[in-house]
Structure 1
């Protein structure tokens, strides 16, 4: 039986910083990311723009996940995967989708070829996806010794909304954690676009 490799959840900015492996394995060309090589990726994001040829033979959309944007291109029967099940037309601006696809390139431009596209109806799913990616990064770097990553992130966001920008030391006091561990988590949240850092203090991007 053929083994189907799971699609790896990634950020667009990771794809734009990656490169193709020089050789293919069993006919599959892998794409090298900072933390490993993948054959398929999974990205959740907002559709910024979309177009489709009148005869339905080609469609493209621009997908933004909060870190960067990337084009999704589909030909012939694959165009159907970019059709919104609610409207019968190509996903329009403002739609949120969860896309599994293969990384491709044309004239040095990286794009995605869709394998499966799912419509996302709950905007909170984007935050949950970011938490999943954060867990992977922290696990690879050496996970901070905090109680519960998901709960700690919720506490941090809630505190920053209510109190405004805080230093790593102030957040560590709230979490009853080690300053170095908390600072690592805060920096990852800055990288992911959830927080910003200015003059040694961290703030929630929604209140900037």
Structure 2
């Protein structure tokens, strides 16, 4: 049975300062922060060190403050989503994907996913990724990372949607908690290299999946 995969706003990898110093803009399709490079950001992915942690006395609200060297931002958790904060301590490096919100002048994140980063070298990798961003805001590193150009991504629209569904079915079937290797996805989907790379790029870009490790994929 085929499924319709709802496309979400892209979770852009950015510096915290891009969010804190951005400008809020209202459009028919939602409210965005516009960064200095022109990105319209509703969902963001930021990595940094936890410098503060707060949990209310009734455990119905909590927050962590993240510092990436450019600025700080709070990620706020409410009662129904408090479990991720219990696994995070001051001094930890975390990678957060979440919606960008604002209240009384404070820009903050509502996390969808909190990933503990055990190897600090990933901060260097993230910095290199951000350096590769084009001024117009294209996420060029996603295409460079797995070798896909705009010309390569010429899969017919109907086939492309089918490929996306097949990729997601394999990831959901074979993920036992650590993600699914690129080669397993290729073998099980039977897709060509170009088709698989195009599909993974799309899913990474819109935040449907992420890479806990290089060439390993998990559903968000």
Greater CA deviation, 44-53 or 31-40? Answer: 31-40
Shift of 1:73: 1.0
Aligned counterpart in structure 2 of residue 31 of structure 1, from 30, 33, 44: 33
Q: Cα distance 1:24–1:63, how it changes in 2: closer, same or farther (>3 A)?
A: farther
Q: Cα distance 1:119–1:23, how it changes in 2: closer, same or farther (>3 A)?
A: same
**What TM-score do the two structures reach when normalised by structure 2?**
0.56
Mapping for residues 140-179 of structure 1, pairs under 5 Å: none
> 1:99-156 CA distances to partner (integer Å, 9 max, x unpaired)?
0011111111111111111000000000000000001147869x9xxxxxxxxxxxxx
Greater CA deviation, 39-48 or 5-14? Answer: 5-14
1:70 and 2:73 aligned: yes
Q: Cα distance 1:137–1:83, how it changes in 2: closer, same or farther (>3 A)?
A: farther
1:61 and 2:58 aligned: no
Shift of 1:54: 3.1
- 1:136 aligned counterpart, secondary structure: coil
Root mean square deviation of aligned Cα: 2.1
Q: Structure 1 residue runs of 4+, over 3 Å off?
A: 137-141
**What TM-score do the two structures reach when normalised by structure 1?**
0.59
Aligned length: 134
Gapped regions of structure 2 (runs ≥ 5): 141-220
Q: Cα distance 1:133–1:79, how it changes in 2: closer, same or farther (>3 A)?
A: same
Partner of 2:195: none
Q: Cα distance 1:40–1:70, how it changes in 2: closer, same or farther (>3 A)?
A: same
Larger of the two Rg values belongs to structure: 1
Q: Cα distance 1:7–1:48, how it changes in 2: closer, same or farther (>3 A)?
A: same
> 1:181-200 CA distances to partner (integer Å, 9 max, x unpaired)?
xxxxxxxxxxxxxxxxxxxx
Aligned counterpart in structure 2 of residue 50 of structure 1, from 53, 56, 81: 53
Shift of 1:30: 2.2
> 1:136-182 CA distances to partner (integer Å, 9 max, x unpaired)?
147869x9xxxxxxxxxxxxxxxxxxxxxxxxxxxxxxxxxxxxxxx
Shift of 1:50: 0.1
Shift of 1:57: 0.8
Distance 1:123 1:66 in 2: 14
Q: Cα distance 1:138–1:21, how it changes in 2: closer, same or farther (>3 A)?
A: closer
Shift of 1:23: 2.6
Partner of 1:11: 15
- 2:82 aligned counterpart, secondary structure: helix
Mapping for residues 67-106 of structure 1, pairs under 5 Å: 67-84=70-87, 91-106=88-103
